[in-house]
Amino acid sequence: MRNQRRVLLLVVALTISLFTMAQNSKELTLQHLMPGGRNYSSIVAKNIKQLQFAGDNYIYVSGNKIIYASLPDGKESTLITKQDIDLVLSEAKADTLKTIPQIFASEEGGAITIRFNHKGKAYKIDCQGKKILSEYTFVRGDKHAEYSAEADAYVTTVGNTLHLHSADGKRVKMVKDEGEDISLGSNYVHRNEFGIEKGIFWSPQGESVAFYRMDESRVKDYPLVNISARQAQLQSIKYPMAGMNSHTVKVGVYNIKKKKAVYLKSGKTDERYFTNISWSPKGDKLYILEVNRGQDTCNLVCYNAKNGAKESVLFTETSNKYTEPENPLLFISDTEFIYLSRKDGFRHAYLYNTNGEELKQLTSGEWEIIEAQLSADGKYLYMLTTEESPLQRTLYKLDIASGEKTRITPEEGVHKVQLSVSGKYYIDNYSSHNVPRVVKVGSLESGAEVKELLRAKNPFDKFDMPVVIESGTITAADGVTPLYYRMTRPLDVDSTQKLPAIVYVYGGPHAQQVTDAFMWNYRGWDIYMAQRGYVVFTLDNRGSANRGLEFESVTHRQLGVSELADQLKGVEYLKSLPYVDGERLGVHGWSFGGFMTLNMMLNNPGMFKAGVAGGAVTDWKYYEIMYGERYMGTPQNNPEGYKKADMNSLSGNLQDRLLLIHCDTDPVVVWQHTLRFLESSIDNGVYPDYFVYPGHGHNVVGPERVHLYEKITRYFDDFLK
């Protein structure tokens, strides 16, 4: 219970140090507190724009200048200005910039270069020489651009065609496949599960490109309707639902010099997921973590990159629940690599050789590696971990040979880091519950701070915010496991007051709501509601992220069961507080949180006076294959699990006020979920309220998000306050 005591002590510190000084006259509104609001930037802690390494030195953007700083002295100077860049572009008869765009810096032969996109082209500029080094041409529709410094070229995809964009401005077709259901190089393969973020993979030498080929012809078209045209237009997507046909994926390799593509000889591929593609250091082999459709078996397979031949299966990893590889291999030499796995229950690092032999487990303990990166020389593994607390992210350096582990970031909180090219320095951007933001440069060799670049002021100090945000733990429904919560409430409360309380819930895999980031990873709407006299409570139940496989997988084949039991423990705690009115409880969530909102209300009629379910999964058989089948199996092999999690069948239990919100072009939790719930409600003679946001996807973004949360606020004001 060490963590519980420490967190509760932090609650006291936060209550005293943060909010007793936030007593100014300016009121916070949803325009301040919601992304997309007119004044949202005023509550975001100050940051340094586009801070990044260029070699072992760093640059950032300040107004119309790019600033360069040398290390270790940190001496700053102007590297290049927007006016300088405009002059260079004008000489090439290109349009000038409105502002400095997103840039990518590097050091090449002592010169600092920047790359950026601008009006259908990409440019690489020598900042000291003030000249264009490379010019790459794109056309409308080019997507998923991947750059190789070794080849000094981009590869892009347009549907079923890959193109090579060379430094001389040429755009050349690499591979074309026939069929409107074929896509090459898409970053949406396997619907972005298994850590997949891209579909194009350059070899280390820039001589070849691996790419995904996705065939969706077996997946039925799913209708979405665009109403922005005078006559509404059908814009169908491919949406493979649990238990139905999925897309088929192959991996191809294109050799730049030979101008030829080969496909890996993987056999029948329609019931497999091809994840975490890794090149060997020499660029002659590809390693792929292949997962079966049931997701209980993962094979690490080696292929010959020249002819596509399958060379070996290095090892097989199985689970009685699921395997979920999310990280490519990290090669420390031609014959040894680091593999991240949860096979002992937590995500840890293992050293293997290319014969598939496990040489040793490098890390262990009841904590997780969140991110990992090798040093340039392959001697050290740098890791962001939860070793100090599930709420924190701390940087460690692991000596691979000796096993010695050194903590690099001494401060508590959530750290986000960049490493310099040689691994000599790191940039740290961190916050904690009472630290808005600190940005610094440190030494990876000694761990010492080299230079503090920014210590942001609390952006809420200029507002009247009589609110407390605190964190602590309760015990899960299993009677053993500590669960972390965040609670946002009015500053001055006593036992004579009885305030309405709202549970804001997510509760699903791959998400953690409560962390030791600024103000416990606060939500703007929670602050807004606390100003209006509400208590808002969020609990990370079992099944949520970054607490190990056992904690997460307790929900396997029974989504909603353990989550509900834990959330009810949170409600029990809320009702025990002397200032909470247990007769005026509400619940709100989106996506998985929308499912949980329905789950909590329909399995406990009368407990909540009002609820708002946004983008809710109402029946898991309408959800996508990859995520849905990992946690629930298929409707065919787990009918009881699907039946228990079917909120449509429980709609007749509705006794309280319920607002359903959905976006009509949601490609993740399709609109059909809410429409089916409404249909079931009609059949059962119950009367939920309903609101739709036209033209939005899985959530409401932009200025309309203020409208969304004003709508939700009004609903709770009407039926809870």
pLDDT tens-digit series, residues 408-421: 999 999 999 999 99
Q: What is the mean pLDDT of residues 176-193?
A: 92
Same domain, 594 and 526: yes
Which CATH number do you get for residue 130? Answer: 2.40.10
For residue 696, being part of any structural domain is answered with yes
pLDDT category at 110 given cuts 50, 70, 90 is: confident
Q: Are 232 and 216 in contact (CB under 8 A)?
A: no
- The pLDDT score that the predictor gives to residue 2 is 34
Partner residues linked to 57 by β-bridges: 54
Reported pTM: 0.94
For residue 300, being part of any structural domain is answered with no
Same domain, 502 and 438: no
Q: From residue 247, how far is each of 79, 181, 269, 436 by CA, in Å?
A: 48, 10, 9, 44
Same domain, 107 and 130: yes
pLDDT category at 24 given cuts 50, 70, 90 is: low
| Residue 173 burial (C-beta neighbours within 10 Å; 0-12, 13-18, 19+) | exposed
- The pLDDT score that the predictor gives to residue 496 is 87
- Asked if 348 is an active-site residue, the reply is no
For residue 303, being part of any structural domain is answered with no
Same domain, 371 and 495: no
- Asked if 334 is an active-site residue, the reply is no
Residue type for position 129: G
pLDDT per position as a tens digit, 198-237: 999 999 999 999 999 999 999 999 999 999 999 999 999 9
- The pLDDT score that the predictor gives to residue 427 is 98
Same domain, 480 and 569: yes
Q: What is the residue range of 411's domain? A: 329-456
Same domain, 412 and 550: no
pLDDT category at 14 given cuts 50, 70, 90 is: very low
Same domain, 116 and 19: no
Say yes or no to pLDDT of 5 above 50. no
Peptide bond just before 500 cis, omega within 30 deg = no
pLDDT category at 25 given cuts 50, 70, 90 is: low
Of 553, 591, 651, 681, which one is the catalytic site residue? 591
Same domain, 450 and 463: no
- Asked if 666 is an active-site residue, the reply is yes
Say yes or no to pLDDT of 35 above 80. yes
* CB count in 10 Å sphere of residue 143: 14
Of 666, 673, 680, 696, which one is the catalytic site residue? 666
Q: Are 534 and 618 in contact (CB under 8 A)?
A: no
pLDDT per position as a tens digit, 420-477: 999 999 999 999 999 999 999 999 998 999 999 999 999 999 999 899 999 999 999 9
For residue 586, being part of any structural domain is answered with yes
Sign of the dihedral through C-alpha 680, 682, 683, 688: positive
Pairing assessment for the beta strands 208-215 and 310-318 based on DSSP bridges: unpaired
Least confident range from 5-14, 257-266, 278-287, 604-613: namely 5-14
Q: What is the mean pLDDT of residues 325-332?
A: 97
Q: How many helices (H) and strands (E) does the chain have?
A: 11, 45
Residue type for position 385: T
- What total of structural domains would you count in the chain? 3
For residue 430, being part of any structural domain is answered with yes
Report which of residues 178 and 350 the model is more confident about: 350
pLDDT per position as a tens digit, 282-293: 999 999 999 999
Backbone phi, psi, residue 515, to 5°? -140, 170
| The last residue of a domain, from among 399, 434, 456 | 456
Of 118, 510, 698, 707, which one is the catalytic site residue? 698
Same domain, 576 and 622: yes
Q: What is the 3-state secondary structure (H, E, C) of 518-563?
A: HHHCCCHHHHHHHHCCCEEEEECCCCCCCCCHHHHHCCCCCCCHHH
- The pLDDT score that the predictor gives to residue 4 is 36
- The pLDDT score that the predictor gives to residue 494 is 84
Same domain, 428 and 474: no
Q: What is the mean pLDDT of residues 98-103?
A: 97
- The pLDDT score that the predictor gives to residue 11 is 39
Same domain, 631 and 505: yes
Q: Distance between CA 251 and CA 275 in Å, rounded?
A: 10
Q: Distance between CA 93 and CA 109 in Å, rounded?
A: 27
Which CATH number do you get for residue 554? Answer: 3.40.50.1820
Partner residues linked to 579 by β-bridges: none
Q: What is the mean pLDDT of residues 183-192?
A: 92
For residue 411, being part of any structural domain is answered with yes
- The pLDDT score that the predictor gives to residue 179 is 87
Q: From residue 707, how far is each of 531, 657, 664, 692 by CA, in Å?
A: 18, 20, 16, 12
Q: CA 194, 145, 278: angle at the middle one, nearest 5? A: 40
| The last residue of a domain, from among 137, 152, 184 | 137
Q: What is the mean pLDDT of residues 333-361?
A: 98
Which CATH number do you get for residue 342? Answer: 2.120.10.30
pLDDT per position as a tens digit, 650-703: 999 999 999 999 999 999 999 999 999 999 999 999 999 999 999 999 999 999
Closest to 342 measured CA to CA, from 314, 360, 367, 359: 367
pLDDT category at 188 given cuts 50, 70, 90 is: confident
For residue 361, being part of any structural domain is answered with yes
| The last residue of a domain, from among 137, 158, 183 | 137
Mean pLDDT of the chain: 95
For residue 268, being part of any structural domain is answered with no
Q: What is the mean pLDDT of residues 592-596?
A: 99
Q: Distance between CA 562 and CA 566 in Å, rounded?
A: 6
Same domain, 335 and 442: yes
